[in-house]
Amino acid sequence: MQALTEIRFPSPVRVVSQNRSLIVSTVWEAVEYLKRWPNKRGRDYRVARQHCLDALDGLRSPRAAQASFITAAKTAGLLL
């Protein structure tokens, strides 16, 4: 079984973190980033967080979690 920290997104996602570029490559990294979410936590944030947690539990694919994470980052203006 794959360790939780190793469940990879199909491709890395670049986001802003504390005025710097950050590359998010795994579902675990996305969950950690979402914990420190710098913007308003609206619907897209909540969906992304749930989808990433579901992916860690094997209930959703990493691709679906990534898509939700990208949508939330775009909505918040954090996607590079």
Please identify which residue in the block is written with the tokens 């199909």: 10
pLDDT score of 31: 98
pLDDT score of 6: 87
pLDDT score of 1: 55
Q: Is 53 exposed, middle or buried (0-12, 13-18, 19+ CB in 10 A)?
A: middle
pLDDT tens track, the chain, 80 positions: 567 668 999 999 999 988 899 999 999 999 999 999 988 899 999 999 999 999 999 999 999 999 999 999 999 999 99
pLDDT score of 62: 98
CA Rg, the chain, in Å?
A: 11
- SS3 state at 74: helix
Report the run of H or E that residue 53 belongs to, with start and end. helix 43-56
